[in-house]
Amino acid sequence: MGKAKKNHKDINFNKSQYYFNRELSWLEFNRRVLHEALDPRTPLLERLKFTAIFSSNLDEFFMVRVAFLKEQVKAQLSQQSIDGRTPQQQLAQIYQCLHPMVMEQHRYFEEVLRKEMTSHGIYLLNYIDITPEQRSYLQQIFQKKIFPVLTPLSVDPSHPFPLMANLSLNLAVVVKAPNTGEEKFARVKVPNILPRFISLPQELQLNNGKSNYWTGVAIEQVIAHNLEALFPGMIIKEYHLFRLTRDADLELAEEEADDLLLAIQQELRKRHFGGSAVRLEIQPSMPHSVRQMLMAEMELTKSDIYEIDGLLNLKDLMSFIKLPLPKLKDPNWTPVIPHRLRHFHQPSKIANLDGEESNIFAVIQQQDLLVHHPYESFSGSVELFIAQAARDPHVLAIKMTLYRTSGDSEIISSLITAAESGKQVAAIVELKARFDEENNITWATKLEKSGVHVVYGLVGLKTHTKIVLVVRQEGEEIRRYVHIGTGNYNAKTANLYTDVGLLSCREDLGADLTDLFNYLTGYSCQESYRKLLVSPVSMRTGIIELIHREIAHCKNGNKGHIIAKMNSLVDAEIIAALYEASQAGVKIDLIIRGICCLRPGVPEISENIRVISIIGRFLEHSRIFHFYNNEQNEVYIGSADWMPRNLDRRVEAVTPVEDSDIIQNLQNILEIMLQDNRQAWELQADGSYIQRHPAADEPERSAQNILMQKIN
């Protein structure tokens, strides 16, 4: 049992000193991502992948979070963050933190990773270093495949400054007229519809006696060294690469929208060009005059400028992970079919559905089933469940939520099959899933055309919950089968994200999901559920009650223990409840991948709280909540982090797990993660993270590796 403190009621948990800033905590998370790119223990191509992920994460951070803060400053709002900072102070701190981090990323890529790539036969060349034969080949590629796509845009009194797309890579070109000597400015956009890196044919690759797997050049260098073709008769005086980031968060007045689908389509058009500029990445060689012109046209300040010495937009390094070099990657992992489902093999080889003993529903009737991705197969479990439901003649209805799904989704195909066969099929498609809006619109339209009842969620709320309800006729009875999970119904991310899901036919869960779907599709004021904790109606109070129950056990002289795994912890009310629990002697272990605004290890406040973050080959995405409950262990899983948006502005569902074997399994998973000494980082009271390392006499324990070994 943790150590209890006296007189804790006098402490005001509203003080900013007890909380970390949300934005800065996220930057610390991305610093841990960058560390995987810098860590020599990480295979080379995986380090390139983490370099790309770091850049991709930053793009979204600027498009959403920095844009939000800049809008607050523009509106002269002074509302303080949970840690007492104004929007302006947060922006200043972000810039102070980010500049050296970005410089470290690019310096490491240029000085270390590029050299290591070369040592393994991967040559990303600079155009000025290529051979005449290579240059001739690239000039032909330019003329045939690149030049026809390019559109140079001049800037003069008759040509206003061109509108530049979000995340576009551009060349600022200064040309001079040979007769008058007059200098003019033009912009050339690097087309993102073409590959970023142009590979050379085998006969033109470097031959230095070493293995050579790939040789190529960045497309912007090929364009830059062939600018004469774009400006014939002009003298190319100079060119400079730059990249623009815009505000890309959608602003929807949902209550005023007659057609939500149309409203989002209109907003998406604005995203690419209409958002205000929030960041400009340039190369140090860009002269002051060009820099000032770009800043003025885009209404940016000096603190919005990021000088990049080397290759811009390292996000595109992700393409190198496809190279056939297994020794430079993590060992290959193939998800395992859950043991109880192995006789089904693949969804395409579904057993005889008329034999009740041979379908997945019979398996679920025997006992609830936990699936753990990507250790266990998504296609061999969740997709199998929905595919069999779609084809089973005894199934009457299928209802499910779709927040993010993949472009070639088997689930979408199954829903269409079910609808075309006459089943009642309802899909709640969240059109407001950030950066997946276009994809979701495409699938929503396709589903509607096939006869699926498509609902676009609720006004003012995002439908983030991950649930499926299957209604099946079994003799004279109707039985309801459910899947309640922590991750999206997306086969691609199911191979990359860790998630858990529960398959069950418990009557109380089936009744709860029926009520929840009625809330999502119709006019329902449902506020109470039998088992589920549902946002925004009951989850906040439910979680706090569970925390307070552990406090009561400690006050009665018993043990109190909470283990909670999630992506982010931001909500001040829940953090205050955890502080109160720590003071009462409750031991609290938090496994939080990303943002954590709770400050652990503060005397008299949170000395019984430990926070770790695990960053590895898989993105930790599962939400698992364990409450000791005086030896009557309770475990919950679901879609919600402990953030205000998840508790107040989204539809979420968290379910208790009641099967004792599954409870033990989830406890084991949590314990394995708490013992990680390879990819776990411990949050300190000052906001920094220290990575764990095994002691001299201690074996290395990577939670993700251990879970892969155990599942086989």
Q: Which residues are catalytic, by number? A: 464
DSSP3 helix / strand / coil % (the chain, rounded to 5): 40, 20, 35
Query: Contact at 8 Å (CB) between 44 and 321?
Result: no
Query: Contact at 8 Å (CB) between 533 and 636?
Result: yes
Q: Is the four-CA dihedral 590, 593, 597, 601 of positive or negative sign?
A: positive
What is the strand order of the sheet 153-155 is part of? 153-155, 183-189, 169-176, 235-246, 277-282, 305-307
How far is the C-alpha of 572 from the C-alpha of 567, rounded, in Å?
Answer: 16
Amino acid, single-letter form, for residue 388 = Q
Would you tell me how many other CB atoms lie within 10 Å of the CB of residue 362?
11
Tokens representing 313? 């937009």
Which residue in the block uniquely carries the two structure tokens 């004021």?
Answer: 525
CB within 8 A of 459, min separation 6: which ones? 254, 255
CB within 8 A of 204, min separation 6: which ones? 131, 133, 134, 137, 215
Query: Contact at 8 Å (CB) between 324 and 364?
Result: no
Tokens representing 684? 């300190």
Query: What SS3 class is residue 244?
Result: strand
Query: Contact at 8 Å (CB) between 21 and 85?
Result: yes
Name which of 196, 202, 140 is nearest 168 in CA terms.
196
Tokens representing 573? 């009310």
Query: What SS3 class is residue 686?
Result: coil
How far is the C-alpha of 586 from the C-alpha of 558, rounded, in Å?
Answer: 10
Query: Contact at 8 Å (CB) between 687 and 28?
Result: yes
Three-state secondary structure string covering 40-69: CCCCHHHHHHHHHHHHHHHHHHHHHHHHHH
Distances (CA, A) of 230 to 136, 142, 153, 219: 18, 11, 10, 15
How far is the C-alpha of 76 from the C-alpha of 234, rounded, in Å?
Answer: 47
Distances (CA, A) of 349 to 274, 314, 361: 49, 42, 16
What is the strand order of the sheet 197-199 is part of? 122-125, 214-218, 197-199
Amino acid, single-letter form, for residue 630 = N
Would you tell me how many other CB atoms lie within 10 Å of the CB of residue 111?
10
Q: Is the four-CA dihedral 556, 557, 558, 563 of positive or negative sign?
A: positive
How far is the C-alpha of 229 from the C-alpha of 174, rounded, in Å?
Answer: 14
